[in-house]
Structure 1
Amino acid sequence: MSFHRHELPNGLEIIAELNPRAYSTALGFFVRAGSRDETEAVSGVSHFLEHMAFKGNDRFTPDDVNRIFDELGAQYNAATSEEMTLYYAAILPEYLPKTFELLANLLTPALRTEDFDTEKQVILEEIGMYDDMPAFAILEKAMESHFAGHPLCQSVLGSVGTVSALTVDQMRAYFKDRYRAGNILLAAAGNIDWQQLVELAEKHCGSWAAGRPDRAIAEAQPQANKLLLQKDLKQQHVVQMAPAPSATDTLRFAADIVSVVVGDDSGSRLYWDLVDPGIVESADLTYSDYEGSGVWSTYLCSNPDTASENLARIAEIYNDVNRSSITFEELEQARNKVASRIVLSGERPMGRLSSLGGNWMYRKEYRTIEDDLADLRAVSLEDVRELLDKYPLGQTTVAGIGPLTEL
């Protein structure tokens, strides 16, 4: 495998990991535009804009977009998060030219008023659907509360109020600001002709407007708070959050290990102590890293009558880990789990695309599977101790939804 990088005059970066032995090609446009880049007045616009990209432009109609992707046998989609919007496709190598043209055209949507008005109703229905999912709804509220006053507090979907009030002119202004060439990364992995990829980018992306907007990335300083939403549910759902390493912090490797040891969905301390005995429906710990900030997220779903008792059990487990760390045996087991996930994901170009684009977007670095495995093997108990001293497991933010009025 070989790595290549090129930059167009307008600032569009192109990176690729070439693997001539692969049977497929994956490519994606990573746009540095997510909910953290929005103001409260346009909350939800990044995700809404992702939907509008599939409404076509003067070159392709909405029907063309879906029909041609299907004719090519592409696996394609888009996704919006707090920090980026990704448009991607996995294809057979011979269909790269047409797929590239179609994918690039998604990033120059017409943003017609009639399409905007129609798709707004789709977005509102989507918000309603997720509002009916307690686990998702309380995670959104926990993020809003934990990152209050910080850009990461913004909801990816937005709210019924903000999306209803959003105008097409506001979306056009946001698009003009965030969808500039210097704010976009083109990444590709698998069986690719590098020169052909560069020529396609020059042809279809060379006229894109140059520039790269600023982004505030100061580390969040969350304050202790608790939020309870009463709802007639059979179970109590609770999310707890605490600060964790950012996407550029070297302690992120140790944080991945700790999240697996303590809160993985199988074989972790929370699993054996709470889930396996049938005490709770679900209990897990996840680690999420962002530009400038990171977060430990604990999720509990249990019988309301035992929710407070279960939260106390989780606190005991966390206190023990913060005080005594993890064992060498736990470290080794977690290494094996994470290593398997890295390798299994990396065996497909689509899996490599995600890693390739993420590493470059956050750290401007190319990392092979071997690099990831080497850093994983290098994590020591001393690193874990340093991590827990700086970012202990805890409950800075507590958010719950269910029948309880207090926890």
Structure 2
Amino acid sequence: MNQSIPQNLRSATLSNGLRVVADIDQRGYSAAVGYFVRAGARDETDIESGLSHFLEHMMFKGTARRSAADVNRELDELGGQSNAYTSEEQTVYYSAVLPKYQDRMVDLLTDMLSPTLDEDEFATERNVILEEIAKYEDQPPFGAFERVMECAYGPRGLGRRVLGTTHSIESMRVETMRAYFNRRYRPDNIVLAASGNVDFDGLVAQAEKMTTHWQDRPLPSNLLSDDPSTSPEGIDLTPQLRVPDAAQSYRVTLGDGPSMQSELRYAMRLLCSIVGDDGGSRLFWDLIDTGRAEVATLWPQEFTDTGALFTYLVCAADDMPSNIRLMNDVLQRVASDGVDQAELDQVINKTVAGCIMQSERPSNRLFGLGSRWLCCGDYLSLDELLDAYRGVTIEKVAKAAQTYLNQSSTEVIASSVEPPSPVAG
């Protein structure tokens, strides 16, 4: 998409290759800042499975200048909101603070990205990760979403588990983590993003001074490649999960969807709201309001080079076959007949209002800014985003529906009983 650079957007590339970008609003009462690292599950090998997320934890465990206690104490002292997360494509460390604390927070976050990766802390945190894996394994929906990603994409790349497996974490070595860190946490693989009441010139100068040594991180050699004829240990690609104590059944499907670059992504987001929003959508009226299901929804997930369309259905096991037929009927009708102008107008108004309200907080704008700049090297201002939604037509929604709702998809069912026979559609 051709777009002009918004006046409030400033960017720079430092001498070491680190990219800095800021969406500036001097009227704001807060500032948000974060490091976006191209290091996610799809970047890992089998022996590194779960390492991006494990490494995210280790960033809070101390540096040459700060102990783990110092890191957490300073985060509390500066107030605001601070956290981190890992996905298939990136790891993000962020904080929202008062503008007067910008320098201190940038100093802290930047220092955190040079962790000591102490072996004792590594051993301790390994147990925390294993407990996290065990916790999610007790939740049927989480296991179903992991499994459908693995079945659809294979157990590597986008299908690799963000948390890793019990086997991969138990067998992980701190030397493997250090090598992965040096390979992925390089300045040209990172974006420093900020939004709100930001001193951009000060941000650039501070980052230039503090990250100069990042380019000196040694590049590991002899990276072992995976054997594509095998499956990683601990991976099961059976499309059914038996969950003995589950009171309900959970069905997840995954088909193709628009990528972060696709021109259909806005039409697809609106289409999914019309069909599967949690209030007032077609699936809501047919399955939720009637008491047939607890959850019946769909949504797109956009990756850099591809996309996914998820559907999610939760109901009593005995009702699953009939509800699948009802859900498929709704999707097929939309694919063949499209949507009404009144439906589209309503969801555009709702989406535009939501975007405006979310944009009032710099921390909300930060994630879209950092992720887009890291993956695509661009960013839409609020006005451009609103124009993109308002520019969606009935014809564009119909094209999205015909492209993505008619396709076959991968299905996974988690239940305490034998899965129902496949339902056509």
Superposed CA offset, 1:36-80 (max 9, x none): 101122110000000000001110100001101111113100000
Counterpart position of 2:90 = 84
Return the match for 1:9 from 15, 22, 44: 15
Deviation at 1:367, TM superposition (A): 1.4
Q: Distance in 2 between matches of 1:195 and 1:240?
A: 47
Over the matched positions of the two proteins, sequence identity in percent amounts to 39
Task: Tell me, in whole angstroms, the C-alpha distance in 2 between the residues paired with 1:203 and 1:248.
Answer: 34
1:294 to 297, 303, 307: 307
Q: What residue number does 1:367 align with? A: 380
Runs of 4+ in 1 over 6 A off after TM superposition: 210-213
CA contact (8 A) 1:146 1:241 kept: yes
- What SS class does the counterpart of residue 213 from structure 2 fall into? coil
Distance 2:214 2:317 in 1: 54
Within 2, Cα distance between the matches of 1:375 and 1:150? 34
Aligned residue in 1 for 2:337: 324
Q: Which residue of 2 aligns with 1:164?
A: 170
1:361 to partner: Cα distance: 2.0
**TM-score, normalization by structure 1:** 0.94
- In 1: Cα distance, 2:156 partner to 2:164 partner: 15
1:210 to 1:58, Cα distance in 2 relative to 1, 3 A: closer
> Does the 8 A contact of 1:226 with 1:398 survive in 2?
no
Give the direction of change, closer, same or farther, for the CA distance of 1:171–1:150 in structure 2 (3 Å limit).
Answer: closer
Task: Give the Cα separation in 2 of the matches to 1:18 and 1:231.
Answer: 49
Letter in 1 for 2:35: F
Report what 2:113 is aligned to. Answer: 107
Q: Is the 8 A contact 1:315 1:394 kept in 2?
A: no
2:241 counterpart letter in structure 1: L
Q: Does the CA contact (< 8 Å) of 1:30 and 1:87 recur in 2?
A: yes
Q: Deviations over 1:292-349 (max 9, x none)?
A: 1111101111000111111111111111111111111111111122112211111111
Unpaired segments ≥5 residues, structure 1 = 214-224
Compute the displacement of 1:150 (Å): 5.5
Distance 1:395 1:302 in 2: 22
From 189, 205, 227, give the equivalent of 2:239: 227
Are 1:283 and 2:274 counterparts? no
Q: Are 1:181 and 2:184 matched, yes or no?
A: no
1:305 counterpart (314, 318, 322)? 318
Residue in structure 1 matched with residue 283 of structure 2 by the alignment:
270
Match of 1:207 in 2: 213
Q: Which amino acid aligns with 2:204?
A: V
CA contact (8 A) 1:318 1:394 kept: no
Q: Distance in 1 between matches of 2:406 and 2:278?
A: 17
Deviations 1:221-263 (A, max 9, x none): xxxx971112222100110111111111111011101110111
Contact 2:336–2:402, Cα closer than 8 Å, also in 1? no
Q: Identify which of 141, 145, 154 aligns with 1:139.
A: 145
| 1:19 is aligned to 2:25 | yes
8 Å contact kept, 1:50–1:78: yes
The match for 1:347 is 360
Taking structure 2 as the reference length, the TM-score comes to 0.90
Does structure 2 conserve the Cα–Cα contact (< 8 Å) formed by 1:78 and 1:87? yes
Q: Aligned AA for 1:183?
A: N
Equivalent position amino acid for 1:41 in 2? I
Matching residue of 2:233: none
**C-alpha contact (below 8 Å) 2:271/2:401 kept by paired residues:** no
How many residues are aligned here? 396
Contact 1:10–1:210 (CA under 8 A) maintained in structure 2 = no
CA distance in 2, matches of 1:320, 1:391: 13
Aligned pair partner of 2:416 in 380, 400, 403: 403
**Structure 1 residues 294 and 247 mapped into 2: Cα distance closer, same or farther (>3 Å)?**
same
Letter in 2 for 1:342: C
Aligned to 2:224: none
Q: Is the contact between residue 241 and residue 394 of structure 1 (CA under 8 Å) also seen in structure 2?
A: no
Q: What is the aligned partner in structure 2 of residue 217 from structure 1?
A: none
Q: 1:194 to 1:176 in 2, by over 3 A?
A: same
Q: What per-residue deviation string (whole Å, max 9, x for no partner) do you get for residues 179-228 of structure 1?
A: 00000000001111111111110121122127999xxxxxxxxxxx9711
Q: Secondary structure at the match of 2:215?
A: coil
Of 253, 259, 267, which aligns to 1:246? 259
Are 1:191 and 2:197 an aligned pair? Answer: yes
2:52 matched to 1:39? no
Question: Offset at 1:394?
Answer: 4.9
CA positional deviation for 1:96? 1.0
Which residue identity does 2:76 align to in structure 1?
A: D
Give the Cα–Cα distance (whole angstroms) in 2 for the partners of residues 75 and 235 of structure 1: 36
